[in-house]
Amino acid sequence: MVLPLILLPGLMCDARLFAPQIAALSGRHSVTVAFIGGHDRVCDIATQVMRDAPDRFALAGLSMGGIVALEMLARAPGRIARLALLDTNADAELPERQALRDPQMARVGVQGLAAVMTNEDIPNYFPADCPRPDLAALCLDMALSLGPQVFARQSRALRDRADRLDALMLAPPDTLILCGREDRLCPVAKHRDMQARAPGSRLVVIDRAGHLPTLEQPDLTTKALQEWMT
């Protein structure tokens, strides 16, 4: 039986984050991109995704999507047949980062979502020496399509999330942990730590990529996911 695949996008991203992978994988697998912007707690987002999911499935999440995936793993490990964690981390948010969330949400109300995403968030997605204006424009379009209410809900969810490092010991065999070598938000060291905690997992580091290797290096990322699904 071919496993259905659920993809979980990152903060203020939609299915376009995984467009190259969906094109490559949907010929063989049933691929769904879950919406993770409907609640302001990670546990409630995870509950909603699991409610809509089949009994058993493969699960891949990038950034915030990986945080939701780890929450799902902690709650229902037996339902997740395969797991891929991309450019994410399993920690609770650091207090200094928590303190930035509410002022940033307030700035969205004053300056607008486009200004905050353009000036504060999107520049950190890519290597400093390779800003990728084409992908930055796509990220902004995804964010604007979701809107400021989703931004606020997702920001609160990230701010208040639980530490899920212990959930990694529940990861299924052959779990894939993947990241861009130049990811400034979730660096390679975080992924090495996750791999050490997930028995039998495999780490793939994508060269010439930052926080969004699905778009920055789509062929290499797709190849890793194809191998993980077989």
pLDDT < 70 positions in the chain = 1
pLDDT at 2: 82
Number of domains in the chain: 1
CB 55 within 8 A of CB 84: no
Residue 120, domain member (yes or no): no
Residue 143, domain member (yes or no): no
Residue 186, domain member (yes or no): yes
Q: What is the pLDDT of residues 142-187, one digit of tens each?
A: 999 999 999 999 999 999 999 999 999 999 999 999 999 999 999 9
Give the three-state DSSP class for 177: strand
Residue 106, domain member (yes or no): no
Range of the domain at 202: 5-93+156-229
CATH classification at residue 50: 3.40.50.1820
Residue 124, domain member (yes or no): no
pLDDT at 27: 85
Q: Which of 58, 68, 2, 57 is nearest to 35 (CA)?
A: 68
Residue 139, domain member (yes or no): no
Answering whether pTM is above 0.95, one says yes
Rounded Cα distance, 85 and 87, in Å: 7
pLDDT at 130: 87
Contacts of 33 (CB under 8 A, 6+ apart): 6, 7, 8, 9, 14, 15, 18, 22
What pairing do the DSSP bridges indicate for beta strands 176-180 and 80-86?
Answer: parallel
Rounded Cα distance, 36 and 61, in Å: 11
| DSSP H stretches of helix in the chain | 19-25, 42-52, 64-75, 95-111, 113-116, 133-146, 148-159, 188-197, 213-216, 218-229
Q: DSSP of 123-147, one letter per residue? A: GGGS-TT---HHHHHHHHHHHHHH-
pLDDT at 1: 62
pLDDT at 31: 96
Residue 41, domain member (yes or no): yes
Residue 111, domain member (yes or no): no
Average pLDDT for the chain: 97
